[in-house]
Structure formats: C-alpha cells, structure tokens
Chains A and B, each alone.
Chain A
Amino acid sequence: MCRVEDLQRAVLAKNDRGAEALRTELAARGTVIVNLLSSPGSGKTALLEAELTLARRRGVPVAAITADLATENDATRLARSGVPVKQVLTDGLCHLEADMLRSHVEGWLPDDTRLLFVENVGNLVCPASYDLGESLRVALASVTEGEDKPLKYPSAFGLAQLVIVTKTDIAEAVEFDEAAFLGNVRQVNPGVEVIRTSARTGEGTGGLLERAMAVQAGAAVHRPVMARQAVAHGHSHSHSH
C-alpha cells in the first residue's frame, strides 16, 4: 500500500523558527533588527550611510550588515560612517536567510548595539519571503523606478512596515508621480507610512533612524494587511484524491 501522510508543514518553518529565535535573543539584549529591501541601485546604501552617520553623531550605538552577491564595496561605503559594519557575500544567493544572518551576528555584533541595520541583497522578490528576525521591515523605492513598483512587487511592499522613497531630489526631472505611487502603495499595504528622502539634499534624513529608535523603545509598528492572517495556520484540510 502506498501510504499517504497529511504533513501540514510550512515550507519556510525552519527559517521562521530561526528568525524568531534571533529576534528573541537580540531583543533580550536590547537590539532590534531593521531589514531593508529594495531593487539594486535604489539607494539603500546611500540612505543607510546617512542614517548611520547621524546615529553615530547622536551617540546611538548602531551597526550594519550589508549583503551582496559579490564585492565589498557597500561595506566600504558604510564604514565611512564610523559604526561597525560587516559585508556578507552570499555567493550568488539572491537573499539572506535567518540562520545566515545569525552566523554573521554571532561573535561580531557589539553587545550594546541598539539597532542592527541589515541591507538585504538588492532584489524585491526573494528577500520578501524570508523573515530575518527583524522588528522593522522597510521597503525602498527610488523615484526613477516607476510608480507601479509596489504593484509589481506586492510582497516586498505589502509586507513592509515602513516605505521609503529615495532620490526625491530628481523626482521632478524624472516626472515621478508621487500621488500615483502612494496610491499603489496603499493598494497593497493600506496604512503604511511612507517617508520621502534624498541622500543628496538630506531631505528626510533621520526619519529611518527615528522610526527604528521608536521600535527599539517598544513603540507599536504597522501591521500590514498581508501579514495579518485572519485564520490560524495549521487548519486541517480534508483532501480526497
């Protein structure tokens, strides 16, 4: 007899368990993870460098991990801020997973770190599926990418707890339709806060740091519709094949 087993297992359960463990462990020592997602070239590194520099000036202990398929260029840029920075090379993998992050955090992250910023691999598809143990997930889009980015990558924007628009200094030149963009964000993630930034002019600099500090201090974060499951997981299905 061919035996059929009703498994009912979440495919990403292992990652989710790892993420939860990391979140709990870091929370116990007062550290909060901020996970940054965006396309390649949307300005994650420039924004992050500005925020890290500001944090250092304000005396907030922060650190950053930046993930790329190759090169240590981003770590070199972020290190100019003067805070602890680590480059993770994923060797071709398109996203970070919780256990990978943990292995890089262990033995490296200073004990007094309040915020650990994780610059995920530049990719809006795969990283969206992997919880890294963050307490704040941020999706970024630059004004050059088109107003429909949130619709094209609904998981990345739909699961974000904060959305950041970058490169606003050139918004006019590229005819960025901000109202259309905001409408599209709202369609996939009603209620999420959107902040405007420009690493060049300094517009919005500090916004990310302030939001992250609030989360670290225990403020409530936005719960995206896509992250609210009305029915508990693990409900039983009766299949007849």
Chain B
Amino acid sequence: MHEMSIAMAVVGQVEEAAGPGGVRAVESVRLQVGELAGVVPDALRFCFELVCAGTVLDGAELSFDPVPGRARCEPCAREWDTGMPPHLCCPECDGAAAELVSGRELRITEVRWAPEPQPESQPEPQPQPAVDRE
C-alpha cells in the first residue's frame, strides 16, 4: 500500500506549490498515471482523501489521466503498445535495445486553486457570480 506514501507526496507537492501563507483551498488535482507506474488509482483516491483532511487540499477532487505504456526500438524504428504485463522485447528484432516512450509517468499535471475571496468593497456590484468554474 504505497498509495498512502504517494498520496502524501502529492499533498506535499501541492502544499509546496501553494507557497507559504498559501491558504487558498484546492478544488482539484490532476495526475498523470502511466500504465507501468505501479499505482492503483482507486487505492490512491482513497488515501488521498484521508491525507487531505485538515490541509489546504481538504475536499479537493483527484482525477487521473492514464498514459498507456509505449516502447520504441530505435534500430528497428518500431514502436508498440507494451500492454500489461509489458512486452519490452522488440517485436521486430526480439532485441533488448528498446526504450520506453511512455508508461512510467506519475506526475501532478494540474492544480485548480479555489477562487480567491472577493475583496470587501467592490467598486460595482457584479451582476454575475464571480466564480467561474470552467
């Protein structure tokens, strides 16, 4: 269950990005998770909720962008889906010279900070709510 450690790392990185005195709430966090990253999204979501409690991320939504495993054999100029468990020998030459093109990602790609609190005195009252979600 290293999803707990990963959730803690995500929260730590977002808190760091919020900066000192960064008391703004976080609406959502988007993660890129490679097929070969060894992370179970459901388990991570569960841990994320627990870890967020009492932090600036309390209540934040976690979403995932899965990234398929892809490998490329440079000598053959062949690229393929690795699948899971991954096939990492080149299907063309059966060689061991391949490189991963994608699949090991575990990155925070995007954070949505909650709206800033509105200043006390607005010069003109806004007809529309100031919160723009999309």
Contact = CB atoms under 8 A, between A and B. Distances in A.
A81 interface: no
Interface string A129-162: 1100000000000000000001110110010000
B13 A7 contact: yes
A12 B6 contact: yes
Interface in B46-87: 71-72, 74, 84-87
A58 interface: no
Most chain-B Cβ atoms within 10 A of its Cβ — which of A4, A7, A154, A229? A7
B112 A4 contact: yes
Given A2-B131, A11-B13, A154 B114 contact: no
Nearest to A148: B85
Contacts of A158: 36, 86, 88
A178 B87 CA distance: 19
B38 A2 contact: no
Given A1-B132, A15-B9, A229 B110 contact: no
Given A129-B38, A226-B36, A11 B99 contact: no
B41 to A, nearest CB: 13
B42 to A, nearest CB: 15
Interface residues of A, number: 46
A13 B102 contact: no
Nearest to B2: A126
A11 B89 contact: no
Label chain A's interface by main secondary structure.
Answer: mixed
Contact of A11 (B74, B106, B116): B106
A11 B113 contact: no
Contacts of B6: 11-12, 129
Most chain-A Cβ atoms within 10 A of its Cβ — which of B5, B74, B95, B115? B5
Contacts of B85: 150-152, 154, 187-188
Q: Which 5 pairs show the lowest CB-CB distances between chains A and B?
A: A190-B96, A126-B2, A191-B96, A230-B99, A225-B88
Interface of A: 1-15, 93-95, 97, 125-126, 128-130, 150-152, 154-155, 158, 186-191, 225-226, 228-231, 233, 237, 239, 241
14 contacts: A4-B112, A7-B13, A7-B17, A9-B107, A158-B86, A187-B87, A187-B88, A225-B98, A225-B100, A226-B88, A228-B99, A231-B101, A237-B32, A239-B110
Interface of B: 1-2, 5-6, 9-10, 12-14, 17, 27, 30-32, 36-39, 71-72, 74, 84-89, 95-96, 98-102, 104, 106-116, 130-134
